[in-house]
Amino acid sequence: MHYNYESGKAEHIGTYSLTSYPNCSDCTIHLYPNDKYEVRQGQQIKEHGPWRYETGDDYWIVYLNEDDQLGVGQYSY
């Protein structure tokens, strides 16, 4: 089970183009292996914080900060 969790988490590390981030049509979010993320517009960091991966029998969620989710709301990609 531990191996599946780690490999699932590793699959989400990377860069995503955000489609709904406020006032930023070209922002990207970068998920780093050290459990930190950054929202960038070019070289400018607009936001940063922790991220975590959660999985169960039939779902996975990437949380940003405490309750925001990658792929939802302003973090849609």
pLDDT of residue 57: 79
For the chain, the structural domain boundaries read 2-75
Question: Which residue carries 């995503």 as its tokens?
Answer: 16
The pTM score is 0.88
Residue 27: name the closest of 3, 14, 44 by CA: 44
Which residue ranges of the chain lie beneath pLDDT 70?
1-3
What does DSSP assign to residue 74?
G
Question: Which residue carries 């590390």 as its tokens?
Answer: 13
pLDDT of residue 1: 44
